[in-house]
Structure 1
Amino acid sequence: MSWALRRRILLAGMIPASLTARAAIAQAWPAQPIRLVVPFAPGGTTDLVARLVAAGLQDRLGVSVIVENRAGAGATVGTDIVARSTPDGYTLVMSNIASHAISPSVYGGRVRYDAVTDFSHIALVITNPTVWVANPRSGIRTLQDAAARAKGPSGLDVATSGAGSSNHLMVVRMGQLIGKELNHIPFRGAGPAMQAVIAGQVPMMSDSLPSAASHIRQGSVTAVAMASAQRHPAFPDVPTFREQGFDLASDSWFGLSAPAGTPAPIVQRIHRETMAFLAVPETRARFSELGGTPGDLTPEGYADFVRREVAAWAPLVQASGATPD
């Protein structure tokens, strides 16, 4: 049992709250600004999606929704902060595949929260594929170019948003397929990693499509391969990994979660307003432009989704040998 869950059980025993009191709190909500924690640095997909969602919820709820970036340790630092917060609906986290599915296995005992039981999961916001991009001056245009560079004397450096991300595991798996370990260069978020690639400090990056999309369109990076089953409709000229002879496919996902014990009426309200925001044609068009697909799960459905992701990724992390270092 995690520390955060034990704390809430102890508090529940010390300060019994009636259903009436909890209902009154939920009815008055929201009465103050809401904090939305992004467990990565600014500039990546998690941050980008969070700011779109924050603006949408702010309009619909009538209170400020403040995005707070708390990066570190594969998205577990900011996520742990939320797990330990008061479950009153005023602190949320942009839960994602790193914080809630992969990093708990990569970081092991260093992670103090349980990705399933320490959260009230609210909504799956968006899913999207992974894309590998390269600095245009790197000479890398195809995955075969990348493989050849990897087998050279200096190997191939590949940046990611951090250890414990799905993009990190893509780097590990690609090295296994090539037969030569790639040099994983973790950053504290996709934004800093992308800037390093654009500056030529790192030749290549494994990234989520939404945070890479604008850079691909601007030509500041070259899209080398898409980790989707088929070519992505937003980028039909970018070949898939499988088309280039590498059997890899990976989707990232991003959602909203709150500390466990958040009153059900508040969870339902946030879910309802999030779904309404995602249904707006302008929102769907923006996500489509970024290469993402809006989610449509209920809170119960999203909780089950997270539970399945945790179970699915744990053996893959173990088999990959991925570590935080």
Structure 2
Amino acid sequence: MIRTLIAAAMATLFAAGTAGAQDFPNRPVTLVIPFSAGGSTDLVGRLIAERMSAELGQPVVVENKGGAGGNLGAAQVAKATPDGYTILMGTVATHALNPTLYKKMPYDPVTSFAPVSLLVIVPNVLVVHPDFPAKTTEELIALLKKDPDKYSYASSGNGTPLHLSGELFKSMAGVDMQHIPYQGAGPALIDVLSGQVPIMFDNLPSSTGHIKSGKLRALGVTTAKRAPSFPDLPAIAEAVPGYETYTWNAVFAPAGTPPEVVAKLNAAANKALEDPKVQARLADFSAVSVGSTPEELGEHVKKEIAKWAPIVKASGAQLD
């Protein structure tokens, strides 16, 4: 009798879960962006969230939760109810850099999440305040070698892709400058725009408008080749052979999210990337639209961890 009751209860729960997955979504979905507003991840996230809302028939509400290099926001999603109503805009930081950078992680980048879709690959860019004397990467290198203790550069935080872009540049160019970490790209950008810090490695999307308006001077992009939206802007690799960094954005759900729900989120994300208006906006700041299956994103994360782990270790960056 007891076995029969247990079996019946389990069947009821399974049926309820299946029905819930089939009805998904019947209320707003929260997209957690693990960085402050104004940065590249925020720009891409809000653009995709708006289009996903139309596809899902429910609002996709953006929630910025910055801190600990993206770990706070990512951990919030990892611990959320796995029903698809709380999802993450993951990045190379949350899923490839932080596992090596931090001594203790509040989540596992592979087992704590259900991959949904890789969205875009984003170039970084080396920018300076317009009053800064260097107008090219070569001139910056010469300036830094002449006065190695004089200049500083801003980034979105210790161990972030932008910080590591700067450290890799210092190492490969044979120069030195002080690193000034911020709690996100947005606050760092404010101080560079005001002239408080003269140099910054930023994501190209968040600096594009300021570069075009003349509020920032771009010296080079961090990808191996020039960005399509700035064909006249050299790649840093043209002055420092072999130099290359970039970031990426992807959607993740908590581990244990029903496959049917993951499939609906994946379809909405990929449909959003196909929208001509979204593609045009992404092209404006040279974010390369990718799209993927959940399985492809899972493999991408594993490859990125293997790629970045030795680079993080070589940088000497380590956080508690």
Q: TM-score, normalised by structure 2?
A: 0.92
* SS of aligned partner of 2:102: helix
Question: Any unmatched runs of 5+ in structure 1?
Answer: 1-14
Matched, 1:294 2:289: yes
2:188 maps to: 193
- The share of aligned pairs that are identical, in percent, is 39
1:88 maps to: 83
1:115 maps to: 109
Deviations 1:60-100 (A, max 9, x none): 21212111111111111111111111111110110001111
Instruction: Tell me if structure 2 keeps the 8 A contact 1:123–1:295.
Output: no
2:125 maps to: 131
* SS of aligned partner of 1:131: strand
Distance 2:144 2:85 in 1: 47
Deviation (angstroms), 1:16: 6.2
* SS of aligned partner of 2:206: helix
Code of the residue aligned with 1:294 in structure 2: it is S
2:256 maps to: 261
Deviation (angstroms), 1:177: 2.1
Moved more, 144-153 or 27-36: 144-153
Matched, 1:320 2:315: yes
Code of the residue aligned with 1:71 in structure 2: it is G
Distance 2:10 2:315 in 1: 46
2:280 maps to: 285
Instruction: Tell me if structure 2 keeps the 8 A contact 1:213–1:291.
Output: no
Deviation (angstroms), 1:44: 0.3
* SS of aligned partner of 1:155: coil
Number of aligned residues? 310
- Structure number with bigger Rg: 2
* SS of aligned partner of 1:245: coil
CA pair 156-103 structure 1, distance change in 2 beyond 3 A: farther
Code of the residue aligned with 2:127 in structure 1: it is V
Q: TM-score, normalised by structure 1?
A: 0.91
2:4 maps to: none
Deviation (angstroms), 1:158: 1.1
Question: Any unmatched runs of 5+ in structure 2?
Answer: 1-8
CA pair 323-182 structure 1, distance change in 2 beyond 3 A: farther
2:140 maps to: 146
Deviation (angstroms), 1:248: 0.8
RMSD: 1.7
2:216 maps to: 221
Distance 1:214 1:267 in 2: 34
- Equivalent residue runs for 1:58-69 within 5 Å: 58-69=53-64
Distance 1:155 1:310 in 2: 35
2:101 to 99, 106, 114: 106
* SS of aligned partner of 1:108: coil
Instruction: Tell me if structure 1 keeps the 8 A contact 2:191–2:197.
Output: yes
* SS of aligned partner of 1:313: helix
Moved more, 32-41 or 145-154: 145-154
1:7 maps to: none
